[in-house]
């Protein structure tokens, strides 16, 4: 698969995406897709930046976890502002 060879990536077919190790997480699909427990897992896995790409894909508890861990975080209103 071109994607896997070029980017040395894996394809997550079933289950939740957030247990996968990553540097940057982009919750973009819908509301509340990255919850508190998954945020803690992402922090433990070394995630350094979370940028929302939908309306409210994180919860207030998620944001608190990210802020406490000093993870760079962009709210959807800011990351989707354009320009």
Chain segment 11-67, per-residue pLDDT in tens: 666 667 777 788 998 888 788 889 999 999 999 999 999 999 888 899 999 999 999
CB 53 within 8 A of CB 76: yes
* Residue 1: Cβ within 10 Å count: 7
CB 66 within 8 A of CB 75: no
pTM of the full structure: 0.79
Is the pLDDT score of 73 beyond 90? Answer: yes
Pairing of strands 24-25, 49-51: parallel
pLDDT of residue 71: 96
């Amino acid at each position: 698969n071109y994607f896997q060879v070029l980017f040395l990536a894996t394809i997550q077919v079933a289950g939740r995406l957030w247990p996968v190790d990553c540097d940057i997480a982009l919750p973009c699909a819908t509301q509340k897709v990255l919850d508190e427990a998954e945020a803690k897992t992402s922090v433990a896995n070394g995630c350094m930046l979370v940028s929302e790409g939908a309306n409210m894909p994180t919860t207030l508890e998620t944001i608190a976890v990210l802020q406490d861990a000093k993870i760079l975080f962009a709210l959807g209103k800011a990351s989707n502002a354009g320009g």
